[in-house]
Amino acid sequence: MGRRYAFGVDLGGTNVRVVLGDDEGRILARLSERTEIGRGPEGISKQIVRMIRSMRVKGFRLDEAEGVGIGSAGPLDLKRGGLMNPTNIPYEFVPLVEPISDELGLETRLLNDCSTAVMGERFFGAGKGMDNLAYITLSTGIGGGVYVDGHLLIGKDGNATEIGHFTVDYDGRLICGCGKRGHWEAYCSGANIPNYVDLILMEREQSEVELSLLSMIRRREGKISARGLYEAAKAGDRLALEIVDQIGRLNAVGFACVNDAYDPSLITVGGSITLNNVELVMNPIRRYISEHSRNRIPEIRVTPLGEDVVLYGALALIFYGIS
């Protein structure tokens, strides 16, 4: 049997993960490290090369791999093959494709991490054989990847589906990491849920806040993290449950926009906020989406690929390419 092999890379501002996998979706080896952002613009490609070289699988030689697929947090400059002013990395441009392919002699392909994830879903996950498919991540940030009529949406710079920057609050009470006001990610992402919780608590009666588990968490941690909020909700705290419901309403608005713009048959959902709080995240989206979406509501489910969805997509990027 001619099994095909490739390396898949999930590159984030915090961690970089590398796998060796085959075209049937088997992961043969994996490595994870903190992203080395302090070693110059070339440091990250050097780290990825070192990680790939250090992966040992019995009977496997590096030159048997067909290539290196990279799914990376944006913004990307796909024409130059690297990251352009990345959010958590202090360089104007981080080259990836050229130094990695030169060093390893392997074809190297780069794509936005959420676009990579939807590829993973289509070839290895819940979207097999589907031509109209969206993937949404609710994590530190919010992002999406979309196929329409079998085509992966890319855009002029590779940022066609930056859905986290949909405006969901035209009053613009909170400012997004991108600097603009009212964006979905400014309210519902893991990094920004603490700001939204503060905003809601300011509008509440202080006596009600004092009685809630949330004020205890705030005394202990200074700010109420996404984790703290969902833990209080799981413990049955009424105010925490109400806030989780409000976050769910905004998520439903975002999902409705995705549904009305792209008309998918299936939306799969991933990211740490979702994977750690499946019921609390998914139930309000399913409950409220039809209040906002004009198009027929698609199936909405958690990705079966879990935290590995980008890695599977990075493999698919080499085996199947972008269509």
* Comparison of 186 and 314: residue with beta carbon closer to Zn ion: 186
Taking CB under 5 A as the binding criterion, the range among 31-39, 163-171, 249-257, 296-304 that sits at the site for Zn ion is 163-171
Q: Which stretch binds Zn ion (CB under 5 A): 44-52, 170-178, 195-203, 222-230?
A: 170-178
75 or 95: CB nearest Zn ion: 75
Nearer to Zn ion, 81 or 141 (CB): 141
Q: Shortest gap between Cβ of 195 and Zn ion (angstroms)?
A: 13
What's the closest the beta carbon of residue 187 comes to Zn ion, in angstroms? 11
**What is the distance between the alpha carbons of residues 111 and 214, in angstroms, rounded to a whole number?**
39
Distance CA 55, CA 287 (A): 45
Length of the chain, please? Answer: 323
Of 17, 109, 122, 165, the one binding Zn ion (CB under 5 A) is 165
Give the nearer residue to Zn ion in terms of CB position, either 159 or 259. Answer: 159
| Antiparallel, parallel or unpaired: β 107-112 and 82-84 | unpaired
Q: How far is the CB of 86 from Zn ion (least distance, A)?
A: 15
- Pick the closer one to Zn ion by CB: 17 or 165: 165
The nearest distance, CB 163 to Zn ion, in angstroms, is: 10
Sign of the C-alpha dihedral computed for residues 225, 228, 234 and 240 taken in this order:
negative
Sole window of 33-41, 158-166, 211-219, 283-291 interacting with Zn ion (rule: CB under 5 A)? 158-166
CB nearest Zn ion: which residue? 176
Distance between CA atoms of 39 and 37, rounded to whole angstroms? Answer: 6
Q: What is the CA radius of gyration of the chain?
A: 20
Closest separation in Å from C-beta 258 to Zn ion: 16
Q: What is the DSSP letter of 114?
A: H
Least Å distance, CB 37 to Zn ion, is 22
CB hemisphere CA count around 2 (13 angstroms): 1
Contact predicate 81/98, CB 8 Å: yes
Our CA dihedral for 158, 269, 264, 153, rounded to 10 degrees, sits at: 10
**DSSP label at 167?**
B
CA distance 189 to 121: 22
How far apart (Å, rounded) are the C-alpha atoms in residues 200 and 218? Answer: 14
Q: Where are the beta strands (DSSP E) in the chain?
A: 5-11, 15-22, 27-34, 65-72, 76-77, 82-84, 93-95, 107-112, 133-138, 142-148, 151-152, 266-270, 299-302
Round to whole Å and give the CA distance between 68 and 162.
24
State the nearest-atom distance from the C-beta of 182 to Zn ion, in Å: 9
Site residues for Zn ion, 69-128, by CB under 5 A, read none
Q: What is the closest distance, in whole angstroms, from the C-beta atom of residue 34 to Zn ion in the complex?
A: 26
Site string for Zn ion, 176-205 (x = CB under 5 A): x-x-x--x----------------------
282 binds Zn ion (CB under 5 A): no
Indicate the residue among 165 and 218 with the shorter CB distance to Zn ion.
Answer: 165
Nearer of residues 35 and 159 to Zn ion, judged by Cβ: 159
Question: C-beta of 178: minimal distance to Zn ion in Å?
Answer: 3
The two three-digit tokens of residue 320, written as one number:
């199947």
**C-beta closer to Zn ion: residue 172 or 304:** 172
CB closer to Zn ion out of 159 and 303 = 159
| Interface ranges with Zn ion (CB under 5 A) | 165, 176, 178, 180, 183
